[in-house]
Amino acid sequence: MNVKTGHLSSAEVAQVLAEALPFLRLYAGQTVVIKYGGHAMGDARLAEKFCADIVQMKLSGLHPVIVHGGGPQIGRMLEKLGIASRFEDGLRVTCEKTVEVAEMVLSGSINKSVVACIQKMGGKAVGISGKDGNLCLAKKLERRTTDPESGIERIIDLGYVGEPVRIDTDILQTLSNSHAIPVIAPIGVSPDGETMNINADTFAGAIAKALQAKRLLLLTDVAGVLDAQGELIRELTPQSIDHLIEKGVISGGMIPKVRSSVEVLRGGVEGVVILDGRVPHSVLLELFTARGVGTRISETGR
């Protein structure tokens, strides 16, 4: 590589393409669900690189499906409107006013900005939410907590926070067959017609299971799952995850992420990858190179 310009030589380009070829064959015709959020979505330069990568995936014969988050953007809009935010167990308590704002931000400005960026990069995208085409039927999420002093268990009322109970993939299959890239806001609807705000990781996992995706990629603001020395763990199995949680190596907010990943595997998805969305072209590097760039969770660890 020319260190001054950052350009690859012809030989280096040929080497990169040759390395990618077996993986292009492996993923041809396969569905890959990508949860998009965090710093990668907030940085305009990274956003364009991400969207260009998604277009490249589609042109290479894959079927990418994007599920985006938007927690920070929702928080800023609530603050601007003078609506207080409260969190329980890491989830935003969502009252009627809050869910209206969440839907406006997720299904509106964020969703359409991702669609516009993909189309700027030469692709064709269609933005929807879980409400469209009966995509996501959701129920109210219930969380329980136990008072450490009294031992009394109570139910946490999170308001209009939901979890998927049924995914109807018809609209996604229609979009994929029309060569469009679905971009989905994590909003669902209850059997009573109430709007439900759904955690984007949870929503993406439900979509991946329903589509029997080859991969679920979870873009984060960390390199992946780290070992006790702070080094990236490239491969994990459900059994090794349990062991690392017991030892305290996997802790904090990474625990629900890896546990939900195991549930996705049990739902028929071949592999879940937790990777750093701040790395330019991380999606292509993960899919089309031998080492990848994140932590892959699978039943076999390979």
Backbone region of residue 6 per phi and psi (left: phi > 0; alpha: psi in -120 to 50; beta: other values): left
Query: What is residue 29's three-state secondary structure?
Result: coil
Mark out the alpha helices in 121-186 (DSSP H runs). 170-177
Angstrom distance (rounded) from CA 56 to CA 69? 22
| H or E element at residue 292 | none
CATH code assigned to 70-199:
3.40.1160.10
**HSE of 84, CA atoms in CB hemisphere, 13 A:** 2
Q: How much is the pTM?
A: 0.89
| pLDDT values of the chain reduced to their tens digit, one per residue, 302 residues | 443 444 556 665 566 667 788 888 888 899 999 999 877 888 889 999 999 999 999 999 999 999 999 988 999 999 999 998 888 766 788 899 999 999 999 999 999 999 999 999 999 999 999 999 999 999 999 877 766 677 777 777 889 999 999 999 999 999 988 889 999 999 999 999 999 999 999 999 999 999 999 999 999 988 999 998 999 999 999 999 999 999 999 988 888 889 999 999 999 999 999 999 998 889 998 999 887 889 999 987 55
Alpha-carbon 44 to chain mean position: 18
Both tokens of residue 153? 């268990």
Q: Please provide residue 107's backbone torsions phi and psi, each rounded to the nearest 5 degrees.
A: -80, -20
Q: SS3 sequence, 196-247?
A: EEECHHHHHHHHHHHHCCCEEEEEECCCCCECCCCCECCEECHHHHHHHHHH
Cβ atoms 171, 135 nearer than 8 A: yes
β-strand partners of 179: none
- Alpha-carbon distance values, 229 to 99, 114, 215, 263 (Å): 41, 36, 28, 27
Angstrom distance (rounded) from CA 45 to CA 277? 12
